[in-house]
Structure 1
Amino acid sequence: MDLFIKLSQFLLSLSLLIILHELGHFIPAKLFKTRVEKFYLFFDVKYSLLKKKIGETEYGIGWLPLGGYVKISGMIDESMDKEQMALPPQPWEFRSKPAYQRLIIMLGGVTVNFILAFIIYIGMAFAYGETYVANSDFQDGMLINNPVMQEAGFKTGDKIIAADGEKIARFDNDITMKLIMSRKVLIERDGKEQEIALPVDLVDRLSQYEKTNLIDIRMPFVIGAVEDDSPNTTLQPKDLITSLNGQPTKYFDQAEIILANSKGKTIPATVLRDQKEQNITLKISKEGTVGVQRGGLTIDNLEKLGYYKISKQEYSFMESIPVGLTKGKDQLIGYGKQLKMIFNPQTKAYKQVGGFKAIFDIFPETWSWETFWRITALLSIMLGVMNLLPIPALDGGHVMFLLYEIISGKKPSDKFLENAQVVGFVLLITLLLFANGNDIYKAIVGR
């Protein structure tokens, strides 16, 4: 069932993005009276799952879920329809239209992708608002368990002040990406500020510890369950351990250190039970454990206990517009920085480029419309940016040649465009094989 939910979100998001992207080409083509022969969700190699011709256009669903397409008459595209291109140009064909109209048709897909992302972010701001913890509320700093971050010089208790000169005001979904994309991070440790330089190949190093967050919220030591063979039967589920061996343990990471230094001993402890403190003794095993499984606290309970203040910002529809636009702009700039890192060999970020499995994996196994829309908006930006790359066979390649034509007044020959399309197609297949090959490699080696 979990796999079905994950797959459903993946296919729904992918289908939505493909259909709207292709509509971005289809609508201006129709407005400029250009014939559209096919409109397909997924590729119909050899055969289609569904198809129906309405007017001059065949609408259908292919069996290969690697994208979608519209086939526009008189256009050199992935169909490589040389027979049609060998005939005299017709008024309804793409090649017969003025350059500015062809440019608008080619830019339509990515324009829709960017507009969609901004609309989603505006809608999310209005529907869900923003929930976060103000960075200033982390009086005791962050939890640093990631070995790569520890090697870079971070320690538990550090307060993150700024990344590449940009002040970190909130702990939210974007903070991890801000740190990954940064070269220098300003922290506060023991009341003093200092700067930590992140390694150039940070992304590659982090891939060895994908299941360990860069930074985390420090959590209290709460008992989830007492093991059957536990020597500490005085402990009960939901107990919160507030001190061990006379030392305060506001956070679990503090308790870990005391337990590691008390192996094989019996020590005094204080627990908070039913809002009352009780003094007990605990037997520590030779491994430094007390025979329990850790539990968790809800955000509301953490706030009631005075650990963190959860801020919720709600917006009216008009207020949501600038918030959503800013969010979209930040995500667009952030993805541009990611591409820059990928194309920089020093970062080794190209090793982490993923294919369809990587996209599939970012969807959760439980249905959440908020998460779904957040991922879909990001994928829409990624699709738009990737399609703008000046690679023949992508929208950006067609735009590049059209801009050349508009500026120079000279139209590239059909033969040149056909050859460029072949080169671009080979490049795309290579990138596709590389990205999905990375997925397969990670699955084999467990990284």
Structure 2
Amino acid sequence: MNGLIMAGQLLLGLSLLVILHELGHFLAARAFGIKVEKFYLFFDAWGFKLFSFKKGDVEYGVGWLPLGGYVKIAGMIDESMDTEQMAQPAQPWEFRSKPAWQRLIVMLGGIIVNVIVGVIIFWMLTFKYGQNYTVNGKLTYGISVGNIGKEIGLKNGDRILAINGNKLIRFEDAISSKVLFDGAQLTILRGNQTLYVSVPDTILNKISKNEKDNFIAPRYRMQSIEKVVVPDPSVDEQSFIGKILDKLFGRKFEKPLYPAYSAGIKPGDSILTVNGKPVTFFDQFKDEVSANKNKKVTIVALRKGKEITFNPIVNSDGTIGVGPNFKLPESAHIDYGFAESLPIGANMAWSTFLDNAKGIGKMITGKLSARNISSPVGIAKAYGSNFDWVKFWTLTGLISMALAFMNLLPIPGLDGGHVVFLLIEMVQRKPVSEKVLERAQIVGFVILICLMVFAFGNDILKSFGK
């Protein structure tokens, strides 16, 4: 059921964005009197489709291959590779008969709509829900530092005062793209000493392999255990398919362990020490437990005023299966009016667009691994197994801006590839030959298929911890 919910959200979000993207091409073509023959959600590869209908001179339908969508514009070399039509004399209502500037607008129509959709989504989310943020000045205990943060010189309990000399008001800015993509200098207060820590511009490559809290997070004071993971008989045994996949990928299946539950730890217990070391803060507890993977640890906890000793064996991932109860840091909320939400939403959309550009740039220069490219499988996981409208629209807005950027890339077959050839035509004052366009389309198709296979491979390997 969880998989169906994730897939359903992905299908809904991508379908909306694909339809709107293709609508941008469609409306621009119609505005210049260009004939559109087909408007499809998903591809009707090899002539197979789920359903279709014709209205006017346009065939509308849904294909069976959920890898995007398309509009077939008359007189244009595209993914349909309709060479028969191109062999006929050009007609005044065809794409190739129109001025280059009109064809350029048609090609940019989908990208422009994706940008507008992204801006509108972030605008409406800001207007409806405002913004919440963690007040950095109220982090009494400073920050909790993961392995990656420790590598660059940060320590548990440090307080971040500024980023590149600018006072840090919102803690979330310390784990935003302005730090993770561009690198930054953090002004740190450690005890009574002010220090400066440089964040390398390659840090995102390490963080992308872990969770953000493996870098820095607000520091929480340890209170009591809120949750203890207990065995679930329905998933305790591995499925037949799981065994086959594990064998294919060389991973030995390990039956899930429940150390805390087995040792007798219960919700409400207050942990005092681990292996004789006091654990005032959650990061101290986590560090001491994770340092003893596959080993027995001695935990002393307080239950109804009485000290009790437990001896769980830590899992291979450095956990014992407990969820702590701690007081969340103080947060602030800001509401915005309809008009003042617009520039904030536009800035969020533009920042997302720039982050995509920076990410691709870092991959090209080797500062970020291409293993971070995700397929629809990875995107579906991001939506999650619970339907949340705010999360749904936030992710859909992010994807809309990502689609705008990806389609702008100068790869034949994408809108950006067509734009490049149109710009060449405008500079040299004559169109690029149809043979070149046809071959470029084939090359672009091969590139896109390879990227898609690579992305799916990434997500499959990630699901097996590789």
The 5 A counterparts of 1:75-154 are: 75-145=76-146, 147-154=147-154
Give the one of 326, 331, 340 matched to 2:347. 326
Q: After superposing the two structures, state which structure 1 stretch, 106-115 or 188-197, moved more.
A: 188-197
Give the one of 224, 228, 253 matched to 2:283. 253
- Residue 144 of structure 2: SS of its match in structure 1? coil
The 5 A counterparts of 1:7-406 are: 7-46=7-46, 47-145=48-146, 147-163=147-163, 168-172=168-172, 175-188=175-188, 189-198=190-199, 201-210=202-211, 213-219=214-220, 220-224=222-226, 237-238=267-268, 251-254=281-284, 280-283=306-309, 285=311, 293-296=322-325, 302=327, 308-345=329-366, 347-406=367-426
Q: Aligned residue for 1:274?
A: none
- Residue 216 of structure 2: SS of its match in structure 1? coil
**Structure 2: 5+ residue runs without aligned partners?**
229-259, 315-319
1:84-136 CA-to-partner distances (Å, cap 9, x unmatched) read 00100001100011111111111100000111000000000011111111222
Residues of 1 paired with 2:437 and 2:261: CA distance? 72
Contact 1:160 1:185 in 2 (8 A): no
Residues of 1 paired with 2:165 and 2:451: CA distance? 34
Residues of 2 paired with 1:154 and 1:135: CA distance? 16
1:437 aligns with 2:466: no
Contact 2:218 2:329 in 1 (8 A): no
- Residue 64 of structure 2: SS of its match in structure 1? strand
Change (3 A) 1:120 1:279: same
How far 1:216 sits from its partner (Å)? Answer: 2.4
- Residue 412 of structure 2: SS of its match in structure 1? coil
Contact 1:264 1:283 in 2 (8 A): yes
Q: Aligned letter for 2:65?
A: L
Q: Aligned letter for 1:41?
A: L
How far 1:404 sits from its partner (Å)? Answer: 2.2
Residues of 2 paired with 1:222 and 1:363: CA distance? 31
How far 1:167 sits from its partner (Å)? Answer: 5.2
How far 1:392 sits from its partner (Å)? Answer: 1.6
Change (3 A) 1:358 1:237: closer
Residues of 2 paired with 1:204 and 1:190: CA distance? 30
Q: After superposing the two structures, state which structure 1 stretch, 402-411 or 371-380, moved more.
A: 402-411
How far 1:239 sits from its partner (Å)? Answer: 6.0
Q: After superposing the two structures, state which structure 1 stretch, 392-401 or 12-21, moved more.
A: 392-401
Identity within the alignment, %:
42
Residues of 1 paired with 2:261 and 2:348: CA distance? 49
Residues of 1 paired with 2:174 and 2:70: CA distance? 33
Contact 1:34 1:94 in 2 (8 A): yes
Change (3 A) 1:167 1:84: farther
How far 1:293 sits from its partner (Å)? Answer: 4.1
Contact 1:7 1:360 in 2 (8 A): yes
How far 1:181 sits from its partner (Å)? Answer: 1.3
- Residue 128 of structure 2: SS of its match in structure 1? helix
How far 1:295 sits from its partner (Å)? Answer: 3.8
Aligned-residue RMSD, C-alpha: 3.4
Contact 1:9 1:363 in 2 (8 A): yes
1:62-96 CA-to-partner distances (Å, cap 9, x unmatched) read 11111110000000111111110010000110001
Residues of 2 paired with 1:21 and 1:280: CA distance? 64
Q: Aligned letter for 1:311?
A: A
Contact 1:176 1:214 in 2 (8 A): no
1:202-236 CA-to-partner distances (Å, cap 9, x unmatched) read 3443455359643223233322268777688xxx8
Change (3 A) 1:52 1:327: same
Contact 2:25 2:106 in 1 (8 A): yes
**Structure 1: 5+ residue runs without aligned partners?**
272-277
Q: After superposing the two structures, state which structure 1 stretch, 432-441 or 57-66, moved more.
A: 432-441
Contact 1:131 1:172 in 2 (8 A): no
- Residue 209 of structure 1: SS of its match in structure 2? coil
Residues of 1 paired with 2:415 and 2:261: CA distance? 62
- Residue 143 of structure 1: SS of its match in structure 2? strand
TM-score, reference length from structure 2: 0.80
Q: After superposing the two structures, state which structure 1 stretch, 74-83 or 198-207, moved more.
A: 198-207
Q: Aligned letter for 1:122?
A: W
Q: Aligned letter for 1:78?
A: E
Residues of 1 paired with 2:53 and 2:300: CA distance? 77
Contact 1:163 1:182 in 2 (8 A): no
Q: Aligned letter for 2:446?
A: V
Contact 1:121 1:325 in 2 (8 A): yes
How far 1:160 sits from its partner (Å)? Answer: 3.4
How far 1:340 sits from its partner (Å)? Answer: 1.0
Residues of 1 paired with 2:130 and 2:412: CA distance? 41
Change (3 A) 1:228 1:36: closer
Change (3 A) 1:258 1:22: closer
How far 1:152 sits from its partner (Å)? Answer: 3.0
Q: Aligned residue for 1:275?
A: none
Residues of 2 paired with 1:18 and 1:323: CA distance? 25
